[in-house]
């Protein structure tokens, strides 16, 4: 079982729509959860992090964490073509400081 699982996509949404990206993790004791955006050929860029159950909003981005279901999601409102990228979910487990990344979800926002 993979530590972090994401639907690889591709996910396509029209410009202005809400994009919903999902991630599940296997270690129930995981403490910290991160979303990174990665453009083709570039390194990952941190866009959101969340540590507590519930929602966290930052501009057009909302991260949602449900520890009971071991599920974390990212919502992108008013999607723009510039949001087209691969979105990586990362989890910091309770033991040690190792981070585990999913394989990423490819998002395309269609103008």
Write down the least CB distance from residue 59 to another protein, Å.
17
Torsion of CA 110, 90, 30, 59, to 10 degrees: -50
CB of 111 to another protein, least distance (A): 25
* 82 phi and psi angles, rounded to 5 deg: -70, -10
Report the Cα 21 to chain-centroid distance in Å: 6
The binding track of 51-90 with respect to another protein, each residue x by CB under 8 A or -, is x------------------------------------x-x
In this structure, what token pair is assigned to residue 76? 């992108």
Residues at the contact surface with another protein, assessed by CB under 8 A: 4, 8, 31-32, 34, 36, 42-46, 49, 51, 88, 90, 92, 96-104
């Amino acid at each position: 079982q993979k530590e972090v699982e994401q639907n690889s996509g591709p996910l396509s949404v029209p410009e202005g729509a809400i994009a919903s990206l999902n991630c599940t993790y296997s270690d129930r004791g995981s403490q910290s959860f991160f979303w990174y955006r990665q453009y083709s050929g570039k390194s990952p860029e941190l866009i959101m992090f969340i540590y507590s159950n519930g929602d966290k909003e930052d501009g057009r981005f909302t991260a949602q964490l449900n520890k009971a279901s071991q599920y974390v999601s990212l919502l992108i409102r008013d999607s723009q073509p510039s949001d087209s990228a691969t979105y990586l979910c990362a989890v910091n487990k309770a033991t040690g400081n190792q981070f585990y990344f999913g394989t990423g979800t490819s998002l395309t926002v269609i103008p």
